[in-house]
Amino acid sequence: MTAAPRRRPTLDEVAERAGVSRSAASRALNNAPHVRRDKREAVQRAIRELDYVPDTTARALATSRRNVAALVISGETPSIFADPFFARVIVGASAALEEAGLHLMLCLAAGDRSRRRLEELLRARGVDGVMLMAVRENDPVLRIVAETELPVVFGGRPVGFEAPWYVDVDNVGGARQAVEHLIARGRRRVVMICGPLDTQVGRARYRGYREAMVLAGLDPLPPECGDFTRSSGAVAMAELLNRQPDLDGVFAANDNMASDALRALRETGRSVPGDVAVVGFDDLDIAKITEPSLTTVHQPIQALGREMAALLVRLVAGEEPSSLILPTELVTRSSS
């Protein structure tokens, strides 16, 4: 009687024996550069112990290049398309990818259906790498990218997730400089319109506000949070005026919210900067045309997109680049 052929061990079994995820085992097997040495050694040991033989066809598919990079934005679609911030990021990323011979694919992961499509795309290796932006704490997209075998570059560091590669701006330092500027103008009751505090950028800019206030010997006042849209700035400003009617300075976590905070102040009869001085963050085009023009923190938005793409290109090429934090700069205009 002929013995049945021995079943070949699977990559899942290798991963289980090595104590790593399937994606980590696959990266180690394909000699990807972004695998820790201890994980790589554990996978190689499991391969020897199980006598694992890779599927050469699958490996050939896994290592093929598509010459496409995905920019994944996790958020509500209407607000994203209305925000000029993301337009600048896309321009910068597209230019860098074009220089490297890669195409840009824009993916919006705003709901379950779009996230499933993204997961299918990454599992099928339909792109060579991913740039990911606008993630929140416990965002479902984080699980999807954690399991991918592709290199991932974050635009801004995520909350509760250790990103190996990211490009960020100095959000804490920029926010601190904005509030220090208000304090230097003689403002003592400075309030803040925060971004969402389940995002790294929201937390970092709030931290900068608190640091500046404490260092100046002032008590940080309770913030009011918006969602980076213009309308949320007006709502937050109205709430802050109700709660702190004698406020004399406002730091808004982005220019969109600051622009409608200015409008809300005018509607209550307060002059800017006479009664209340206002500072934003981003240095978008809107900062130049508000009434009065908006003092703000300039961040190099287009460079953020460009550096994200450049970092991803190097990862795809098998290099081991370092993450980046880009500088910010205060731009003084009439609102302060």
CATH code: domain of residue 50? 1.10.260.40
Domain count for the chain, please give it. 3
Q: Which domain holds residue 285?
A: 171-300
Q: Considering the domain boundaries, does residue 334 fall inside one?
A: no
185 and 296 together in one domain: yes
pLDDT score of 123:
87
Q: Considering the domain boundaries, does residue 51 fall inside one?
A: yes
Q: Considering the domain boundaries, does residue 280 fall inside one?
A: yes
180 and 247 together in one domain: yes
pLDDT score of 3:
45
194 and 232 together in one domain: yes
To which residue do tokens 């960020």 refer?
168
Q: Considering the domain boundaries, does residue 200 fall inside one?
A: yes
Q: Considering the domain boundaries, does residue 5 fall inside one?
A: no
Residue 176: both structure tokens together = 């601190």
Q: Which residues of the chain have pLDDT under 70?
A: 1-7, 23, 30-35, 55-64, 76-81
- Would the pTM of this model clear 0.85, i.e. be above it? no
Q: Considering the domain boundaries, does residue 229 fall inside one?
A: yes
162 and 184 together in one domain: no
The percentage of the chain sitting over the pLDDT mark of 90, rounded to a whole number, equals 65
Q: Considering the domain boundaries, does residue 6 fall inside one?
A: no
